[in-house]
Amino acid sequence: MKKYFAFLLTAVFFHASAAHVTLAAPEETGHGGDIIYTKPVKGVLFSHANHVEAVGLSCDSCHDTIFPMEARAVQKNKDFTMASLYKGKYCGACHDGSMAFASNTQCARCHIGVKGFERLQKKSK
């Protein structure tokens, strides 16, 4: 009986770790993984894992209304700025201080900076 439990535990453990590995690969997670913006400033991280898995948002919460499906497409827009966010555009649609933390607070929560950007690039290589 004891042996059976030990086997079951290891099986569960392996299953869990395997699941963890699949979560790390964006194409199998059903979401877009980490999106790092480089314009207008370098190193802004949007984590799909945080928004979809931890917060529980669905794809159509943001796509295709606030953000198109194409990653970083909004970077080409001239109004992709903090000022627009404060007016409720882009991330500011939720990050207004009531739905989610306001976009004029906790700067370095999304702005991972050049250092964070380079670290993530090294990791993905």
Partner 1 sequence: MFKIENLKKESLGKLPLLERREFLKMGFVVTGVFAGGSILSLVSNAEKVFASAGEFAEKYPYKPHYSMVIRQNLCIDCERCLEACRTTNEVPDYGYRTAILEKHVPEAVGQKTEFIPVLCMQCNDPPCVRACPTKASYKDEVNGIIRIEKKKCIGCKVCMVACPYNARYFNNETRAIDKCDFCFETRLSKGEKLTACSAVCPTGARTFGDISDPSSEVYRMVHQLQKRVWVIRAEAGTKPNVFYMKS
Enumerate residues 6+ apart whose C-beta is below 8 A from 36: 43, 44, 45, 46, 112, 117, 120
Q: Name which of 10 and 106 has its Cβ closer to partner 1.
A: 106
88 binds partner 1 (CB under 8 A): no
Strand 44-47 and strand 34-37: pairing? antiparallel
Which residue intervals of 1-125 are DSSP H helices?
A: 2-24, 26-29, 48, 82-86, 107-110, 113-124
Q: Using the rule CB under 8 A, is 109 a contact of partner 1?
A: yes
Residue type, 45: L
Nearer to partner 1, 2 or 122 (CB): 122
**Which of 31, 42 has the CB closer to partner 1?**
42
Interface segment toward partner 1; rule CB under 8 A; list 1-9, 35-43, 59-67, 84-92: 35-43
Q: Binding of partner 1 at residue 40 (CB under 8 A)?
A: yes
Length of the chain: 125
Which stretch, 27-35, 56-64, 88-96, 110-118, contacts partner 1 (CB under 8 A)?
110-118
CA distances for 72 relative to 3, 11, 63, 124, angstroms = 52, 40, 13, 18
Closest distance of CB 124 from partner 1, Å: 19
What type of residue is 29?
T
- Find the shortest distance in angstroms from Cβ 65 to partner 1: 26
Q: In the set 9, 70, 107, 121, which binds partner 1 (CB under 8 A)?
A: 107
